[in-house]
Structures are given as structure tokens and as C-alpha cells.
């Protein structure tokens, strides 16, 4: 029985994916309310691919009970109703920012990345990203938040990036790269310090930014 259910779920997910490539909006929308989170997430992507994903559907996905769908909502938000780098709809931006406090750390990581893809963001979001970058227990979340702060280039996020240059190696590398949009003696000092880091990738990132 379990195998049959799995096969049926895989078949529905395949239908959702094919709908996105075959122009089948009706099927994609039908599967958006499937009992399986993977099917719902695939249907969400299919509707977006077809240019048929509504604001309401995307907002509902950010509140889905399963983190798989919430993560997919973050990903789709980066190019929904525009492109990466374009200003995002305020209501969608707020919904994604709320996921920075999600109970699932994988959602927090993707939400942080998404926040950095379509500037500008609110001061509150910058503050929350800065907090994640410096205090979150998960290194991937800290790294993602640091990357977002670098992409946004807001001066109020600089202290968190500078702090992250002393974190574990993966976060330090991201922090050095995130310094690229900034200038000033603190930035120069941090880059100079990173050129002697014990991790060669941190050193390489710093050397790439050095004059």
C-alpha cells in the first residue's frame, strides 16, 4: 500500500511538472492544493513558469504548513511579477520577511537569500538579517543572511558583515565577498586582515577585493 501511495504521489508531481512545460494551467492549479507538499511545491513552480501564479496563491504558499512549500515560495518570489533585482511587491516582500523567523531553519536560509535578491528591503528586514548573520545557531543561515546584506548594500548592514568576517570559514568567505559594495577604513582593514586568514578561500576572496 505504501509503495502504491508513493507511486501515485510521484505521478502527480510529474503531472504538475509537465503542466508547467505544457501550458496546462488548469492541472497545475488543481495540484496546488494536493495533499502532498512536494506536489504542491512543484505545482507552484509550474504556475509561475506559466505566468499564471497569482499574488494570493504565492501568499498562501508562504504560509503553507510544510517547509517544502514555504521554501519554494521564497524561491519563486525572487522572480514573481518581475525579475531578480527588480523591486518586489510590498505584500510579498513582507510575507517573505516573516519567514526569517520560521521554525524551520531551511526556510530561514532560503528566505534570507530571497530578501537579498530584490532590493530594497525595509529597515526592519535589514535589522533581522543582521541579527541572523551574527547570532543564528545555524551557520548556513548566518551565511545566507550575510550574502543578502552584501547584495542589498545597505550601510546599516555593514556592522553585521564585518562581524561575520570572524565567524567560521564558510561564513568568513561569504562575509569578505559581501564587503564588495562597501568602502571605508573598517572595510579596508577587514579585507586586509582576511588576506592572512588561515583558510585559503577566504584569502583568495580578500585578494580579489584588494587594490
The label of the residue with cell 562597501 reads: 182
The label of the residue with cell 559594495 reads: 181
Entry pTM: 0.94
pLDDT score of 4: 58
pLDDT score of 3: 55
The rounded distance, in Å, linking the Cα atoms of 156 and 19 is 44
Residue ranges of the chain whose pLDDT lies below 50 = none
Domains in the chain with CATH codes: 1-53 (no CATH), 54-118 (1.25.10), 126-211 (1.25.10.10)
The rounded distance, in Å, linking the Cα atoms of 5 and 59 is 29
Amino acid at each position: 500500500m505504501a509503495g502504491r501511495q508513493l507511486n501515485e504521489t510521484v505521478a502527480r508531481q510529474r503531472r504538475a511538472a509537465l503542466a508547467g512545460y505544457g501550458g496546462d494551467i488548469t492541472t497545475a492549479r488543481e495540484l496546488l492544493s494536493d495533499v502532498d507538499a512536494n506536489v504542491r511545491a512543484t505545482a507552484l513552480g509550474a504556475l509561475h513558469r506559466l505566468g499564471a501564479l497569482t499574488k494570493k496563491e504565492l501568499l498562501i504558499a508562504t504560509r503553507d504548513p510544510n517547509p517544502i512549500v514555504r521554501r519554494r515560495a521564497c524561491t519563486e518570489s525572487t522572480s514573481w511579477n518581475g525579475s531578480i533585482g527588480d523591486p518586489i511587491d510590498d505584500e510579498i516582500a513582507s510575507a517573505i520577511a516573516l519567514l526569517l523567523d520560521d521554525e524551520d531553519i531551511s526556510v530561514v536560509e532560503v528566505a534570507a537569500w530571497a530578501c537579498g535578491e530584490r532590493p530594497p528591503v525595509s529597515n526592519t528586514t535589514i535589522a533581522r538579517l543582521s541579527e541572523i548573520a551574527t547570532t543564528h545557531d545555524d551557520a548556513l543561515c548566518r551565511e545566507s543572511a550575510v550574502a543578502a546584506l552584501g547584495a542589498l548594500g545597505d550601510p546599516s548592514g555593514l556592522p553585521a558583515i564585518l562581524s561575520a568576517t570572524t565567524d567560521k570559514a564558510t561564513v568568513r568567505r561569504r562575509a569578505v565577498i559581501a564587503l564588495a559594495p562597501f568602502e571605508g577604513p573598517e572595510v579596508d582593514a577587514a579585507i586586509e586582515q582576511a588576506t592572512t586568514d588561515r583558510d585559503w578561500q577566504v584569502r583568495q576572496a580578500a585578494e580579489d577585493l584588494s587594490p
